Structure 1
Amino acid sequence: MSGTLYLIPNTLGKRDEFDPLADVIPAGVQQITAGLDYLVAENAKTARAFLKKLSETCPLAKPIQQIEIRELNVNTRESELAALLAPIREGRDGGLLSEAGVPAVADPGANLVRLAHTKGVRVRPLVGPSSILLAVMASGLNGQSFAFNGYLPVDAGERAKRLRELEQLSRKARQTQVWIETPYRNGPLLEAMRQHCAGTSLLSIAVDLTLPSETIVTLPISDWRPERLALNKRPAIFSLLAA
């Protein structure tokens, strides 16, 4: 009989900023995670750091060195997924651990989850922080209809085109459009929005979600200025509702 594939959420910031860990990861989720001896993670080193933090409040079933961790990231080939799922198909419970937030949402792992369903393996998602949902919740924009668009193009021309497309879609469908950016490109992205989107459209930016420095601001684009919110090198979620 197959084991269970648990989808394990992680913190959204540095692990040493959470004391206790239960501020963002529920106690029940910690207990399930602590009882596993097989994990699939984007990075084995940071997965061990998470387990070390977890062990401060929830004893692990095995020493960290004895917990098997295999990596699944953007470089993982489709042909390698079966081997990652094999221990669970053989009856061992295992976890898919996100690098930050929840697994398989803006995060590698969806293909492993799909394979688990194909092979009849039970999939159990565990409760934890999602930067996308937290940002939409706190934006004041349309939470009944929203779409996550991942990263926008790096090329300035392509990015401008995509921004206009998303704004038009938002206006037509009254749908909140959500995306993220590499932290060091947050400033240029904001400037591009000021140049290419209507001043009346509402833009919400949420940075450092769940951290002590968390800041969420929603304003018409015409009111946004670079000095309004320090964005450099801070994880941010951008939400737009055309008006």
Structure 2
Amino acid sequence: MRMLLQRNFLVVVLWIIGVGANLYTVDCLPHRILLDTDVDTDDFFALLYLLKQNRSEFEVEAVTISVNAWADAGHAVNQIYDILYMMGRDDIAVGVGGDGGILEDGTILPNVGGYLPIIEQRNTTVGYCRYRQAIPVGQGGRLDIDSNYGIRKAFLPQGRRKYAPLWQPTAQQVMIDKISAGPITVFIIGAHTNFAIFLMNNPHLKKNVEHIYVMGGGVRSKNPTGYPNTNTNFIISDMKHSPGPIKICLEVVLIR
């Protein structure tokens, strides 16, 4: 009887030690992060803010690029590569969104010839995208964003990683690889197409997504200024200055 009690006591002690060690390991693991971005200029601040965090707490695993907004994919992916090189993070996976889209009835359009021919043409989404079509192509629009207003090559050091046809991973490929690896937090600060397609095609992986943080906007908003007044005084007055810094402010606060 005494030996049985000693044996049971030993089992309980070992179980407690095992559970404690497991909890300690889980608690010490950093938050894995996937950032989905349209690579507009303000998104750089959000990415840099993330990369400056303590990696023992926040580990950026991947950056995926949404091509339905301001930046052209061929330029955007190289800018992301250069930023990661500058920050010493060439280990971070980068994926580029394809040219497929989602219809209003939920139908996912297949990539027309794959995204490679589209990216080579420096074009992006095939189909009707009102947001994309509303953005100017030249000065004051995508040209300024693609070139960082003409200072990109002078501003960012050039790393070895660059866009390469047939070798560049897709956004869906990167999302599947990183999310299937374990619990992860997703930040979406561009158009939501990449992650929407991922969730529709991979519902079994939703369980690995711990949190989703979205940088959203509004359509036909009743707000006459076009941006949220509740956050305005955080940086500027909406009636006296340009609203330019507002989105930068919101994205950094969102990640914080």
TM-score of the superposition, structure 1-length normalised? 0.37
Which one has the bigger strand percentage?
Answer: 1
